Amino acid sequence: MSEKRVRVIGAGLAGCEAAWQLARRGIEVDLCEMKPEKMSPAHKSENFAELVCSNSLKADRIENACGLLKAEMRLFGSLMTEAADVSRVPAGGALAVDRDAFSAYITDKIKSNPLINVIEGEVTAINEDEHTIIATGPLTSDTLSEEIMRLTGKESLYFYDAAAPIVTAESIDMDNAFFAARYGKGGADYINCPMNAEEYGVFYNALVSAETVELKTFEQQKIFEGCMPVETMAKRGEKTLLFGPLKPVGLVNPKTGRDDAHAIVQLRRDNASGTLYNMVGFQTNLKWGEQKRVFSMIPALAAAEFVRYGVMHRNTYISSPELLDQYYRMRKYPHVFFAGQITGVEGYVESASSGVLAGYNMARMLADKPMYEPESTTCIGALPLYISSCRDSFQPMNANFGIIDSWGERVRGGKVERYRLIAERALENVKKQLEKQGEMIK
């Protein structure tokens, strides 16, 4: 392979974005895709960038983090946003697409680009000395998963995603919560959300009767190994949670000096800045609307802003904090980048954005030019900064304002106005860096 040629593995959203960014900058690409020779259990179409679940690319307004992310991607000349514009269908404030037209548009653009050579068939080997972007998605084949484990280390690849919900710190009602560590051991790092017996009873009855997500056949065998959903645990008996994740023992409320709560939900800091908190032990398979309804019955979380809901599904992803730098590049093998959900970003748009930066920065590296420096004031920068530096147990993350630097002062007009100001600052910062690097899309 030529020194100025890049191998991109996977023609999903991230892989197509990476190949597009490279080709736009004159780099030849070998885009490897196992379809149609081999199909994953979730894929049905032979086209690239197939949307296997929803046809929604989430909100279109910049006051929403995913809307901001799409606006930032447009500044890089994103192929996904271009395809979405020509395949858009009515969806109120969301950007939804005709999924067949969307993937057909991307497939045509990729296949008709003279610098992109599409290679069909499963990849089974990776050469760490070749310029490579691995964008194989959450359903990476077993053979390639084994090769990625060789490359990254046997303990650095996860196959089943069991993630608890995450809420913003500012939305937690601290009048109904307190900081403390169990038995006073260590620092008071946890936020504790107490419930009395009546509150717990209401919460429990709602939890055990809430509607769950129906798992696909290929997800059912191993999905609950080593990590039981909180609703499944609750169905074993009303007191089960009180001896598990909601046990109140050893937690003294410093406001009252008592430890008489009937149940306590603990929240653990999820990022270094303390703007996000994870619901400890709340891995769940409830539908997202049900999570909002049921978990808001916890008094301290009555007005909680959920930046990520709990999920339990097949999701192959690497331990990015150990393996990747802020450019989506391997620390150990600098010729190898990762992109897409395999990095631990969660969602269509987030996956595509990682492909944008991986392809852009690979091209800059090959041209001996400075890379795009991710900034925590932007959404497209905050995502790789988060996944490459998460301080605790790493779980996939989607776009949200909790990982972006706050505005830093009170804003009249409430949350929407504050988010608008943050978004405008983000877009200006992306523009400034791209203009400085001579890469601004007009």
Q: Which amino acid is at 138?
A: P
My answer on whether 174 and 283 are in the same domain is yes
Residues spanned by the domain of 187: 166-309
Domain boundary pick from 279, 309, 339: 309
Q: Are strands 132-134 and 5-9 parallel, antiparallel or unpaired?
A: parallel
pLDDT in tens, 130-157: 999 999 877 777 888 889 989 988 666 6
Give the whole-angstrom CA distance, residue 15 versus residue 41.
19
Residue 66 belongs to a domain with what CATH number?
3.50.50.60
My answer on whether 220 and 359 are in the same domain is no
Q: In a 3-state reduction of DSSP, which class is residue 91?
A: coil
Name the token pair of 421: 């100001």
Domain boundary pick from 281, 309, 337: 309
Strand spans (E) along 138-196: 157-163, 166-168, 178-180, 190-195
Domain membership of residue 330 (yes or no) is: yes
Domain boundary pick from 294, 309, 324: 309
How many independent structural domains does the chain possess?
Answer: 2
My answer on whether 151 and 240 are in the same domain is no
Nearest by Cα to 159 from 146, 171, 172: 146
My answer on whether 222 and 250 are in the same domain is yes
My answer on whether 378 and 334 are in the same domain is yes
Domain membership of residue 202 (yes or no) is: yes
Please state, rounded to an integer, the average pLDDT across all residues of the chain. 89
Residue with tokens 């597009």: 20
User: Looking at the whole model, is its pTM more than 0.85?
Assistant: no
My answer on whether 12 and 134 are in the same domain is yes
My answer on whether 92 and 177 are in the same domain is no
pLDDT at 314: 67
Nearest by Cα to 341 from 378, 376, 313, 366: 313
My answer on whether 305 and 318 are in the same domain is no
Is the distance from CB of 54 to CB of 95 less than 8 angstroms? no
My answer on whether 97 and 189 are in the same domain is no
- Tell me: pLDDT of 221 over 50: no
Residue of higher predicted confidence among 99 and 365: 365
DSSP for residue 218 = G
Domain membership of residue 60 (yes or no) is: yes
pLDDT at 40: 61
Give the whole-angstrom CA distance, residue 278 versus residue 170.
13
Q: Which amino acid is at 366?
A: L
Give the whole-angstrom CA distance, residue 70 versus residue 103.
17
My answer on whether 238 and 287 are in the same domain is yes
Give the whole-angstrom CA distance, residue 423 versus residue 428.
9
Domain membership of residue 441 (yes or no) is: no
Vertex 285 angle, CA 281 and 286, to 5°: 105
Which residues lie below 8 Å from residue 144, measured CB to CB, with a gap of 6+?
9, 122, 123, 124, 136
- Give the H or E element holding residue 29: strand 28-33
My answer on whether 263 and 207 are in the same domain is yes
Tell me how crowded residue 183 is: count the other CB atoms within 10 A of its CB.
Answer: 10
Name the token pair of 307: 């930046």
Give the whole-angstrom CA distance, residue 320 versus residue 152.
10
Residue of higher predicted confidence among 165 and 228: 165
Q: What average pLDDT does this structure show over 385-400?
A: 84
My answer on whether 290 and 176 are in the same domain is yes
Residue 218 banded pLDDT, cuts 50, 70, 90: very low
pLDDT at 337: 98
Nearest by Cα to 275 from 305, 245, 311, 246: 305
Domain membership of residue 155 (yes or no) is: yes
